[in-house]
Copies of this chain bind each other. A is one copy, B any other.
Amino acid sequence: MDYTIKEIALRAGVSKSTVSRVISGKGYISPATREKVEQIIRELQYKPNALARAMVSQRTHNIGVIIYRQEYPIASHPFYGKILDSILTAAEKMNYSVFVSTDREMTHHSADFMLEKRVDGLILISRLKQQLIDYIQNFKVPYLMVNGSTDVEGVFHLVNRDDMGGRMAADYLIGIGHRNVFVLAGPQTHRSHNLRLKGFREGMEKHMNPVSESSIAYLAASTFEEGYKTMKQEWTRFQSGLCTAIFATNDMIALGAMSFLQEQSVRIPEQVGVMGFDGIDYAAMYFPSLTTIRVNIEEMGRQALTLLDKQIRQEPVKAKTIEYEPELIIRQST
């Protein structure tokens, strides 16, 4: 069933060293021997055992992705799913496979798991607990962080310039004439939501049009449902506020809010403009399609892998924070 290098050697009448040489392509091999061995390999459809290889080379060519989430779904999450895809794509190109795990419990189960599997490196996504990061740091396995933050020195951080995105949103909304914007702000414990709000306020202030605390709603979660629910709760206040636009700190919240507004027969963008942040696929498919600030996830994923690979291969790279500039995507909702 599963042939080994030994079996190939036996059939070719050579030693396993020779077979190994044929496969790896290094060392001297006579053309005749090579041909013979290769033929037997083809015949038996021999597949080298990646485990055995990993054992001796101390490289599994597997990496781990740990995402901060209370639970699955990860993949079908509109934002994390995209990150995962960008990593998967880049990983395949660089000949890595990936294990995915959520960090959920108080224990370091996800990290232990990856460590036992002897992944070559780790990608930590979103606001993982400092405790977990310290734990991982301990094991000196190469890792980097995407969209998260920590105080640990000498670690790569790939982050979106969320504050800049917030300012871009402000500039744009002011630019098309909105003076009175209602803000749906996701959990402020989350770096992204915090910075997006901060940037937005800064932007509005720059235009001599500060956001009053009364026109900000703080949400408990950054989901569609929460966006919908909050919009519903704030509805009276919102109506009396003469607001002409809504800025949500992510697309899902914006979509939830829009959904409620549409139920109230509010015309978008005529009566109220709506704007999100993230650039998830679904935002483009909604009607009206959502104006948003798009995070360059593809590039982050690609670079995360390039950088991690360098760390793994011990190439000298100076760890630092790399920032990505988001992009304004104007659609129908404004």
Interface residue ranges, A against B (CB under 8 Å): 1-2, 45, 47-52, 54-55, 60, 71-76, 78, 81-82, 84-85, 88-89, 92, 97-101, 112-113, 115-118, 138-140, 224, 255-256, 258-259, 262-263, 281-282, 285-289
B residues near A139, Cβ cutoff 8 Å: 1, 45
Contacts A76-B85, A262-B287 aside, 7 further interface pairs with beta carbons under 8 A come to: A45-B138, A73-B82, A74-B75, A76-B81, A76-B84, A97-B117, A99-B99
Q: Which residue of B lies closest to A85 (CB)?
A: B73
Q: Is the CB of A285 within 8 A of B72?
A: no
Cβ-defined partner of A112 (8 Å) among B47, B49, B92, B263: B47
Cβ-defined partner of A84 (8 Å) among B75, B98, B259: B75
**Minimum Cβ distance to chain B for residue A111 (Å):** 10
Oligomeric state, in copies:
2
Q: Which residue of B lies closest to A78 (CB)?
A: B76
Q: Which residue of B lies closest to A140 (CB)?
A: B1
Q: Is the CB of A72 within 8 A of B47?
A: no
The 15 sampled A-B contact pairs (Cβ below 8 Å) are A47-B116, A73-B81, A73-B82, A74-B88, A75-B76, A75-B85, A75-B88, A76-B76, A76-B85, A88-B100, A99-B99, A259-B287, A282-B285, A286-B287, A287-B287
B residues near A72, Cβ cutoff 8 Å: 85, 88-89, 92
B residues near A71, Cβ cutoff 8 Å: 89
**Minimum Cβ distance to chain B for residue A247 (Å):** 19
**Minimum Cβ distance to chain B for residue A289 (Å):** 8
Instruction: Report how far A98 CA is from B97 CA in the complex, Å.
Output: 10
Instruction: Report how far A89 CA is from B73 CA in the complex, Å.
Output: 8
B residues near A48, Cβ cutoff 8 Å: 116
**Minimum Cβ distance to chain B for residue A227 (Å):** 10
B residues near A55, Cβ cutoff 8 Å: 51-52, 55
Instruction: Report how far A140 CA is from B2 CA in the complex, Å.
Output: 9
**Minimum Cβ distance to chain B for residue A64 (Å):** 9
Instruction: Report how far A288 CA is from B78 CA in the complex, Å.
Output: 20
Instruction: Report how far A116 CA is from B88 CA in the complex, Å.
Output: 18
A263-B287 contact, Cβ under 8 Å, with A55-B55, A72-B85, A138-B45: yes
B residues near A256, Cβ cutoff 8 Å: 285
Instruction: Report how far A73 CA is from B85 CA in the complex, Å.
Output: 5
Q: Is the CB of A116 within 8 A of B50?
A: yes
Q: Which residue of B lies closest to A84 (CB)?
A: B75
Interface centre among A54, A88, A139, A285 (most CB of B within 10 A): A285
Instruction: Report how far A140 CA is from B17 CA in the complex, Å.
Output: 28
Instruction: Report how far A74 CA is from B113 CA in the complex, Å.
Output: 24
B residues near A1, Cβ cutoff 8 Å: 139-140
Instruction: Report how far A234 CA is from B45 CA in the complex, Å.
Output: 51
Q: Is the CB of B89 within 8 A of A85?
A: no
Q: Is the CB of B75 within 8 A of A82?
A: yes
**Minimum Cβ distance to chain B for residue A129 (Å):** 18
Q: Which residue of B lies closest to A289 (CB)?
A: B259
B residues near A82, Cβ cutoff 8 Å: 73, 75-76
Interface centre among A2, A51, A262 (most CB of B within 10 A): A51
Q: Is the CB of B74 within 8 A of A85?
A: yes
